[in-house]
Amino acid sequence: MPRTGVLTVWLALIAAIAVPVVVAGFSPYLAWRSPIYIAAGFAGVIGLGLLLVQPLLAARVLPGLTAMNSRMVHRWVGITLIAMIVLHVGGLWITSPPDVVDALLFRSPTPFSAWGVVAMWAAFAAAALAALRSLLRWRFRLWRLTHASLALVTILGTVVHAALIEGAMETVTKAALCGLVLFACVGALIRLQVWDVKPRG
């Protein structure tokens, strides 16, 4: 791909993530919120943006990156994603512990809470599976299917979680980002054919 094409792809990816974050920064919902609550909210928005990057890295479709570089960046983006989840939940815990407890116990009256909790635990499980890969000694294709399945649950749960929340994120940019995340996820699953677990003869 020509250098201008590579630059265009990366600028488009950055814009897809940055625009919803910037627009959310001008939301009137932030006017009466505490700094910790705002930081927790933006950690969630950034986490949603990182979910757009992860499938593209896994499928190795981002130009300018070798297969090895894609794996390395995928690993570090995954670590960053886990950090954003911890900051998101931790900040909400500080500002309203009872709400977080209700969400974790699946007794919250708000439907988006359950989707967020499911996505969180799936993300933690996917990260643990990645960290323990060498110890588990699973066949690569079985490991990849399990990891991808957990990632899919994370993405679907997060998208529904974000879609149901009426908060700082602006409706159109949120819908666009969620749509891109789903599109990238489906495209990566098809490209990698993760359902094929038969060993090659």
Q: Domain span at residue 168?
A: 3-192
Confidence of residue 196 (pLDDT cuts 50, 70, 90): confident
Report the predicted TM-score, pTM, of the whole model to 2 decimal places. Answer: 0.94
Residue 141 within any structural domain of the chain: yes
Residue 131 within any structural domain of the chain: yes
Q: Tell me the per-residue pLDDT of 29-88, one tens digit each, with 9 for 90 and over.
A: 898 899 999 999 999 999 999 999 999 999 999 999 999 999 999 999 999 999 999 999
HEC profile of the chain: CCHHHHHHHHHHHHHHHHHHHHHHCCCHHHCCCCHHHHHHHHHHHHHHHHHHHHHHHHCCCCCCCCHHHHHHHHHHHHHHHHHHHHHHHHHHHHHCHHHHHHHHCCCCCCHHHHHHHHHHHHHHHHHHHHHCHHHHCCCHHHHHHHHHHHHHHHHHHHHHHHHHCCCCCCHHHHHHHHHHHHHHHHHHHHHHCCCCCCCCC
Residue 201 within any structural domain of the chain: no
Instruction: Say which CATH number the domain at 46 has.
Output: 1.20.120
In percent, how much of the chain has pLDDT > 70? 99
Structural domain tally of the chain? 1
Q: Tell me the per-residue pLDDT of 150-172, one tens digit each, with 9 for 90 and over.
A: 999 999 999 999 999 988 999 99
Residue 143 within any structural domain of the chain: yes
Residue 163 within any structural domain of the chain: yes
